[in-house]
Amino acid sequence: MFRLASQTDPDMHDRLPASSTGNAPAPASAPAQRRAAPVRRLLAVYGALLLVGGLALGAVAGVVSAATTPLGHVDGQAVTEAGRGADLFLTSCAACHGVQGAGTANGPDIRNAGAALADFMLRTGRMPLANPGAPAQRGTPYFSNADRQALVAYVASLGNGPAIPNVVTSGADVRAGWDLFTANCAACHGPAGGGGAVGGGFVAPALNKADATTVGEAVITGPAPMPRFSFSPDQLDSLAAYVAFLRDAPHPGGATSPEVGPVTEGFIAGVTLLGLLLVARWVGVRRDTAGDPLAEEAAGDPHRTGAGTASDPADDQGDPTGGRG
């Protein structure tokens, strides 16, 4: 009857004890609880070890990531760790500049060269040299961008040299740049930026490949034999803007002056003067022979010389007909 009542009366099911419905386990005995306590402690210790291990692994991963994460930015791109730059310096630069950059008989001290000069030399392919006596001329960069930036970061860490300037030509005063260029640069680089010899075996390079950053780095560092200038940021922007104008200037008149040497106008004047002298000489010869039939005939016939002309051998024997027809 009990089972039948529980099956037919819904309220009877709700009034039954929980243990009889199977919804909750019977309370454990004290010995069972004592046996379960060590298991719970073991699980707690295991969880703590997992937590500590995870934190330790995270810390190690952070250290490794920091060792391979760029330390800063040079020329808008991330540089690799200083250790990479040091390795590159030892293999490619230390033979001439010394292990600590203090210089040797084959290369100058670069401890205070700074990021600006290091980036200028490496980015324009002037360094490293094939041999210590070779001229430092623009060429193809030897290092990749990442390696170059690592080297720049390392050289910058050796001393207190100038940083890479942030040169902005947009909106700069091109006329002020022209004044600066004329007063400080044209004597060596030429009025049109074509470059030229400056004496002592040195050559001022052409500026047709110099971007704004290159101009700024050269001006504030003074790579030999160029002197170092102290321009304000605005002046540097204006000068770089004028150099860019020289490179991209329109030539509506057609042919432009030859951009070779620091005295382009003098070269053109010399050629023009030589042409005028040749014309004057030719006119003078024409005037001297004017009115003289023999001279005019000699001037017109290269086989005749002097005031007279050589006679035809037949004329020396006279006219065999005696002038008779």
Mean per-residue pLDDT, 112-121: 96
What does the pLDDT read at residue 78? 38
Mean per-residue pLDDT, 193-209: 88
162 near 236, Cβ under 8 Å? Answer: no
Q: Report CA dihedral (102, 107, 110, 111) to the nearest 10 degrees.
A: -10
Res 2 pLDDT > 60: no
What does the pLDDT read at residue 68? 35
174-248 matches 74-157 in CATH topology: yes
Q: What is the pTM of this model?
A: 0.57
Res 8 pLDDT > 60: no
- Residue 198 has φ and ψ, to the nearest 5°, of -120, 10
Handedness of CA 228, 234, 235, 238 (dihedral sign): positive
Region of 312 on the Ramachandran plot (φ > 0 left; ψ -120 to 50 alpha; else beta): beta
What does the pLDDT read at residue 147? 94
Half-sphere exposure (Cβ direction) of 18: Cα atoms closer than 13 Å: 5
Reading the block at residue 145, the tokens are 């961008």
SS3 92: helix
89 near 154, Cβ under 8 Å? Answer: yes
What does the pLDDT read at residue 276? 87
16 near 6, Cβ under 8 Å? Answer: yes
Mean per-residue pLDDT, 222-247: 95
Mean per-residue pLDDT, 213-240: 96
What does the pLDDT read at residue 279? 84
Q: How confident is the model at residue 249 (pLDDT cuts 50, 70, 90)?
A: confident
Bridge partners of residue 196, in order along the sequence: 204
What does the pLDDT read at residue 247? 86
What does the pLDDT read at residue 69? 35
Mean per-residue pLDDT, 133-158: 93
Most confident stretch, 56-70, 135-149, 290-304? 135-149
Q: Under 8 Å CB-to-CB from 256, ≥6 apart: which residues?
A: 192
Q: How confident is the model at residue 277 (pLDDT cuts 50, 70, 90)?
A: confident
Cα 223 from Cα 216, distance rounded (Å): 12
Q: Let me know the angle formed at the C-alpha of 58 by 53 and 59, rounded to the nearest 5 degrees.
A: 100
Q: Under 8 Å CB-to-CB from 206, ≥6 apart: which residues?
A: 189, 190, 193, 194, 195, 259
Half-sphere exposure (Cβ direction) of 315: Cα atoms closer than 13 Å: 4
CATH 1.10.760.10 fits 74-157, yes or no: yes
Bridge partners of residue 104, in order along the sequence: 107
Q: How confident is the model at residue 314 (pLDDT cuts 50, 70, 90)?
A: low
Mean per-residue pLDDT, 93-100: 94
Residues written for the chain: 325
Q: Let me know the angle formed at the C-alpha of 166 by 160 and 169, rounded to the nearest 5 degrees.
A: 150
Out of 152-166, 187-201, 251-265, least confident range: 251-265
Res 257 pLDDT > 60: no
At the topology level of CATH, where does 174-248 sit? Cytochrome Bc1 Complex; Chain D, domain 2 (1.10.760)
For the chain, give the percent of residues with pLDDT over 90: 43
Residue 167: closest CA among 75, 73, 248, 249? 75
Mean per-residue pLDDT, 87-98: 95
What does the pLDDT read at residue 83? 84
Encode pLDDT of 23-76 as tens digits.
545 555 555 555 556 666 666 766 666 676 666 656 544 433 433 333 333 443
Cα 267 from Cα 248, distance rounded (Å): 23
| Residue in the block written with tokens 């670069």 | 110
Domain ranges of the chain: 74-157, 174-248
125 near 138, Cβ under 8 Å? Answer: yes
Q: Which helix (H) or strand (E) holds 33?
A: helix 30-68
